[in-house]
């Protein structure tokens, strides 16, 4: 995140906290402990470094604001008003940002995404079902087989 956008985020967070009469501690507690009150203080002062998507999501949760509104403030984007798109759920945008971050780190994920975007919607649906099934199989505890 650029330094230029931090004042926008600081002003946004400060405004929301004032409107909702929240302390830094309140925001921390409401985030489920995902961010500390000292981290909220750093955001307010503009000195927070390396704001991750997870931290921004936790901050949005702590402030009880839409994630996309907070993201727009964090990146210095103007707020969309009174348009049908502005009321839609934009949480998928955070997911895409998170995926983008992971693809920069992991070559295999980038390669998978590159292949998936070439598929038509029906093929992507099949791939999604398969990936979900594989993920569930990996998380299930293995049963011990009885020896005969």
Same domain, 56 and 17: yes
Q: Sorting pLDDT into bands at 50, 70 and 90, what band is 41?
A: very high
Query: Under a CB-based contact definition with an 8 Å cutoff, are residues 34 and 54 in contact?
Result: yes
What crossing angle do the helices spanning 6-20 and 53-63 adopt, rounded to 10°? 20
Same domain, 49 and 72: yes
Instruction: Say how far apart CA 126 and CA 145 lie, in whole Å.
Output: 31
Q: What is the pLDDT, as a whole number, of residue 83? A: 42
Q: What is the pLDDT, as a whole number, of residue 4? A: 40
For residue 87, pLDDT beyond 60: no
In a domain, 117, yes or no: yes
Q: What is the pLDDT, as a whole number, of residue 79? A: 59
In the chain, how many domains are there? 2
Same domain, 125 and 80: no
User: pTM for the full model?
Assistant: 0.51
In a domain, 147, yes or no: no
Longest alpha-carbon distance in the chain: 69
N-terminal to C-terminal alpha carbon distance within the chain: 60
Q: How far is C-alpha 29 from the geometric centre of its chain's CA atoms?
A: 18
In a domain, 111, yes or no: yes
In a domain, 9, yes or no: yes
């Amino acid at each position: 995140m650029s330094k230029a956008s931090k004042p926008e985020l600081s002003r946004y967070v400060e405004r929301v906290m004032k409107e909702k009469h929240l302390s830094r501690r309140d925001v921390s507690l409401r985030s489920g402990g995902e961010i500390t009150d000292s981290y909220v203080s750093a955001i307010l002062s503009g000195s927070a470094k390396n704001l991750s998507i997870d931290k921004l999501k936790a901050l949005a949760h702590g402030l009880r604001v839409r994630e996309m509104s907070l993201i727009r403030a964090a990146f210095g984007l103007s707020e969309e008003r009174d348009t049908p798109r502005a009321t839609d759920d934009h949480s998928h945008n955070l997911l895409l940002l998170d995926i983008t971050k992971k693809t920069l780190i992991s070559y295999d994920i980038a390669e998978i995404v590159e292949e998936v975007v070439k598929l038509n919607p029906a093929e992507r649906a099949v791939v999604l079902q398969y990936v979900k099934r594989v993920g569930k199989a990996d998380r299930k505890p293995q049963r011990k087989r009885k020896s005969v």
